[in-house]
Amino acid sequence: MTAGLGNALHGAFLLARGRPDGMLLIAAPPEAEMAVAARSFWAIAVCLPAFLCLHLLDWADSGLPPEPAESLLLDLLGYVIGWVGFALISHRVAGSIGRGPLWPRFITVWNWCNVVQYLMLVSAGLISLLDLPDLLSQTIWLVAMGWALWLEWFAARLALAIPGAPAAALVGLDFALGMFLLGIMGTSG
């Protein structure tokens, strides 16, 4: 699995630089696509330290919530539900737009691109600890968030072989699911 992980991450970093050839390092032969897609969910564990780092950065900025352990547990639950939930929803969406056979490739690419997205966001968050002017710190965060969204759009467009608008809708669906879960988890704690 290590060679697969290294290739997948290298491919995701190439995609983050706008290089479609990153798909070649992530994609699997048709007979192995589902197995490779299933293994790509290891990205959840790979991203967990970054997810926790973002929480610590948020708490450093806004202070600890009244029940930190409960809050963290709810956020971890939302993290897993959001990740798996989007995978399930995207499977249905891919099928409904006639791209069902390409879904294993898409979800594999999406999973590994999440690692790069989390690294972008953690990097931007760590920069906020430098006591930069708010405008600069917020601009850096906005650029990182925009790049992360662009990467997801670019990867979806390539992996599902769809035009830009449907790829943007898929990214919007992922974002909306995340905001929905954030709202639910944030209000229940």
Helices within the chain (DSSP H only): 2-16, 22-26, 33-39, 43-62, 68-96, 103-127, 134-160, 164-188
Reply yes or no on whether the pLDDT at 17 is more than 60: yes
Record the tokens describing residue 52, joined without a space: 């926790």
* pLDDT tier for residue 164 given thresholds of 50, 70 and 90: very high
Domain that holds residue 182: 2-188
Cα dihedral 46, 49, 53, 54 sign: positive
Which position has the higher pLDDT, 80 or 182? 80
Count how many Cα atoms sit within 13 Å of the Cα of residue 154 in the half-sphere of its side chain. 22
Tens of pLDDT, residues 38-67:
999 999 999 999 999 998 898 888 888 888
pLDDT recorded at residue 189: 45
- What distance in Å separates the CA atoms of residue 10 and residue 31, rounded to the nearest whole number? 22
Provide the number of structural domains found in the chain: 1
- Does residue 75 contact residue 114 with C-beta atoms inside 8 Å? no
State if pTM tops 0.85: yes
